[in-house]
Amino acid sequence: MQSCAPASTAGPTPARVPALPPRELFPALAETSDVYLDSASTTQKPLPVIEAVRRYHSSRTANAGRGTYPWAGGLTREIESVRERMAAFIHADADEVVFTGGATAGLNAVALSWGLANLADGDEILYSPRDHASNVYPWHHLRRLLRGFGREIVLTPYRVNAMGEADIDDLERRIGPRTRMITVGHLHHVFGALSTLEELRGRIDPAIALCFDCSQSGGHLPVDVRELEADFAVFSAHKMFGAPGTGVLYCRRRRHGELMPFLPGGNSGVSLGDSGLVAGAMPQLLEGGTHNLPGILALGAALEVFERVGLEAIGTHNRALTQRLITGLRPVPGLEFLPGPAYAPCETGYGIVSFTLDGISTGDLGFVLSELGFLVRTGTHCVPADDAPRDEDSVRVSTHIYNTFDEIDRFTECVATIAEEVS
């Protein structure tokens, strides 16, 4: 459900948000005049993150958890410190935090480690076909794998509403006695709408697992997995100032006994018993192989930046930018917003707005905007082509703390000028 800020008749102004880190904290932005408006795809990297990667490769490079000499021991403690920091960041315990290769890897881990072990013939997963492909394809893949074991599970799609949120009424109607999981995008990657499923609390069987894709919300607004009552939640480090190839999977402790290893090998916490593999303790159970060590250290540096800046400040800034963007684009002739904050009954927004413009394809519009120095995402934004309506083909604008009101104003003026030329 969208959380609403107090309604206001005046447009958002810079005075409403606190001072934020200077653009110079992000070297890639400091060296260009281009306006980066694609943070939902990946965020820019602050200097502490860049330095964390450089330091790992240039000073006392070692492997974690595999040696007693000081270099290895020190690195092991650093990695576990990042785990503890990430746990505090999402209000979890350290043994509930699993390091992965990214959010996609995390969702596939849920499918393979939990789904294969627990879903029986006739069980059901509820999902949105308008979510990111990484929160759609793993469940289809799981269904195909289970068919090989003689188990047929049911994948039931639910709708989103005009604001881009999970349609709670439709979702609740579809919950049945064999529903075992509901999976949802916490902050939608195209619509910029927040879905918490809070309306379902106390109204559904608590045994139903709740899985949240927090790829867009992590690092953009406070995420409390306890408050969400999440059983699983995934985070993408490169969308929260960190490096690509790193992510986090939150696994609620009550589910630990239901998990089986899906990457057995070195460091996976499993052992050989008389009847095969014996599962070990979490989180190592799901962490087979060598970690992306520089990526995890970079995540730790990113978390320090978030702690210094404050997620509340980031959320306030993105909401103000979102409202400024909507206000500037609304009068543009031929412009149509996709579901999202433009249709909310009150002032809200999380830094993502998508739209189309009559008279020009989204690809061409994106190219023209890039020639004018505005970098946006166009296309279907990884929404599965075989499941969702084609109106997801759009221009997506996504902001973060390094964007300014002046950039938003110049962008909306530019879109208005293009609209006049193509009308």
How, if at all, do strands 154-157 and 35-36 pair?
Answer: unpaired
Angle formed by the axes of helices 362-371 and 405-422, nearest 10°: 120
Told to judge if 251 belongs to the known catalytic residues of this protein, a careful annotator would answer no
Q: Give the residues across from 179 on adjacent strands.
A: 124
> Burial level of 68, CB count in 10 A (0-12/13-18/19+)?
exposed
d(CA 171, CA 278): 38
Q: Which two tokens stand for residue 11?
A: 């447009």
Q: Half-sphere exposure of residue 113, counting CA atoms within 13 Å on the CB side?
A: 29
> Burial level of 368, CB count in 10 A (0-12/13-18/19+)?
middle
Identify whether the C-beta of residue 344 lies closer than 8 Å to the C-beta of residue 2: yes
d(CA 413, CA 422): 15
d(CA 64, CA 79): 8
Catalytic residue among 4, 346, 382, 414: 382
Q: DSSP for 244-304?
A: TT-EEEEE-GGGGGG---SS-STTS--EEETTEEE---TTGGG--S---HHHHHHHHHHHH
Residue at token pair 């707005």 = 353
Q: Verify cis geometry, omega within 30 degrees of 0, for the bond prior to 283.
A: yes
**Cα–Cα nearest to 259, from 284, 286, 239, 236:** 286
d(CA 320, CA 327): 11
**Cα–Cα nearest to 380, from 365, 366, 396, 364:** 396
Q: Which two tokens stand for residue 295?
A: 């990526």
* 358 SS3 class: coil
Amino acid (1-letter code) at residue 53:
V
Active site residues per annotation: 382
